[in-house]
A and B are shown apart, each in its own frame.
Chain A
């Protein structure tokens, strides 16, 4: 039987709250549904929904005339919710139930469920990051698979002709370019949804645009975008900024345009300029300092250097630190030094593959969505890109980044110690087969050791971290 819970409220809390409650009850009963309606009227909350009723409900109807408290939103997190003004509910009561599935959206408020344990709920910053993870995963999956297909086509001999004057692009290039959009937009989508989870719609647009700016090296004039760590910083700061901005009282005439005009405009201006004039130069400075540092590593300390480069490559997966290590290794190719680029060939495979393997070995420490994305992360990770590891890192930054960085560092040291060389970018784990990476046996040994360590670290660190989070929560409750 379909089960429905609903909440009604209205400006005065005298009439519509109850009319709509009754209408919903009558209609639902006539359809043979089980229904519970909570009324939030002038005399307070009546028929308060119990957690059991909410968790059993297939759909939640929110017929709202004066908004919902954060607490209310939290109660319905991850439920299929149909939200509409109380007067609309009254007007369309006869058709309201026709397509609940189509009209419902899954509410993601500031709580999140980890793993298969539905009781385990985390509040606060982590839940905002999880909102970014859910939004970004489809981008990285869809985009990553397209890029993988495109690269395969090129490696199997199809032309890789870009769009140019007088030439039409090849299909492999087109597919790869479309796939790249997924990677490009994954970062701003993360920033936007992190901010959205904190303070709703007004924060969405400015966070999206500012994260896009921060991740676009051409606009910013830097050698790298800010990557997913930039998305976290911007998503959180825009989110909290807007949260307090919303409390501003502007008087009747301006209050109505605060949310969709004033907040997005001011936030975009302030954070856009901050990003351009502070974050951009700071990143450029950081990268040049790190690059100088890498270039001055004495040759006698090659293994230590390998550790540092490996750790940097795995640290922020496409962010400024990763890019610096990549530049350093890649630029040495022109002087026929191939062993540093060998580290890139090995270490960049590890984070996505290790995250995928960890979800298979210990599914309980990952969310359903993370588990579902594992195959695509594995395939894309072993062939073309590190990006599929980003959502996993975002979902639990501290343990995941620590695990990746440590495993990357150790593997980097091992790779340079065994003198694995890579001559050009290829298709990841198949590089030795097409002659780009050698000797093949040391390459595969390094990958195997790296993966084993990385998976072990992920499981150890993340389990420990989850336990600590749970303990913290139990203490707070």
Chain B
């Protein structure tokens, strides 16, 4: 299975709080069969947020987790209809989510793909697509980075 596919996207994540969004992302991950346990992923997300926020500004957050609960390295993408308080670096709420999931025995090549994607997140034109692009545009943009 590829690290990112069209069914890893949910343009309408349900929830109005940080935890509810994480639960929706966990649902998505569970449905595509890359995690064993939903509540464990939410717990890992929350622990990471406690270290420091993953909301890096501009309404985008990258909740991520590194755990043996995760079966293979995966990227999830989602948008929420309402703005979510995420304690972001710029203080603004968040509506765009890109989640990186990594098993703790992950092979290097996948980590490199995620690193490549992370690097892209500081480029304004890329973030613009994530925020405003259609489902296909988002898919193409991410796919271009990780599947090429």
Listed in ascending order, the chain A residues whose CB lies under 8 Å from chain B are 11-23, 26, 39, 41-44, 46, 65, 85-87, 90-91, 93
Contacts and interface: CB of A to CB of B under 8 A. Distances in A.
B41 to A, nearest CB: 14
Contacts of A44: 108
A43 B112 contact: yes
13 contacts: A11-B48, A12-B66, A15-B114, A16-B118, A17-B118, A26-B122, A42-B66, A43-B111, A43-B112, A43-B115, A44-B108, A90-B89, A90-B122
B53 A87 contact: yes
Given A39-B115, A43-B115, A85-B52, A14 B122 contact: no
Given A85-B52, A91-B57, A91-B90, A15 B112 contact: no
B95 interface: no
A12 B100 CA distance: 11
Interface residues on B, range: 20 to 34
Q: Across chains A and B, which 8 residue pairs bring their CB atoms closest together, nearest first?
A: A43-B111, A18-B118, A22-B119, A91-B89, A23-B122, A18-B115, A87-B52, A11-B51
Given A11-B48, A14-B64, A87-B52, A19 B121 contact: yes
Contacts of A39: 115
Nearest to A43: B111
Contacts of A20: 122
A19 B56 contact: yes
Contacts of B122: 19-20, 22-23, 26, 90, 93
Dominant SS among interface residues on chain B: mixed
Contacts of A90: 56-57, 89, 122
A14 B66 contact: yes
Contacts of B89: 87, 90-91
B102 to A, nearest CB: 6
B62 interface: yes
A328 B59 CA distance: 77
Nearest to A41: B115
B106 interface: yes
Nearest to A23: B122
Contact of B54 (A15, A42, A91): A15
Interface in B52-84: 52-54, 56-57, 62, 64-66
Nearest to B48: A12
A251 to B, nearest CB: 16
Given A19-B56, A42-B66, A43-B108, A14 B102 contact: yes
A20 B52 CA distance: 14
Contacts of B115: 14, 17-18, 39, 41, 43, 46
Nearest to A92: B89
B64 A21 contact: no
Interface string B29-53: 0000000000000000000100111
Nearest to A25: B119
B90 to A, nearest CB: 7
Given A39-B115, A43-B112, 10 more contacts: A12-B65, A12-B66, A14-B111, A15-B114, A16-B54, A17-B118, A22-B121, A23-B122, A90-B57, A91-B89
A41 B111 contact: yes
Nearest to B111: A43
Contacts of A13: 66
Contacts of B116: 18
Nearest to A88: B89
Given A90-B89, A91-B57, A15 B52 contact: no
A22 B51 contact: no
Contacts of A23: 122
A93 B48 CA distance: 22
A42 B52 contact: no
A233 to B, nearest CB: 40
A15 B66 contact: no
A413 B62 CA distance: 78
Contacts of B51: 11, 65
A23 B119 CA distance: 8
Contacts of A85: 52
A41 B116 CA distance: 12
Contacts of A21: 119
Nearest to A65: B52
A41 B54 CA distance: 16
Contacts of A16: 52, 54, 56, 118
Contacts of B56: 16, 19, 90
Select the residue from B56, B100, B108, B118 with max chain A CB neighbours within 10 A.
B118
Nearest to B118: A18
A11 B52 contact: yes
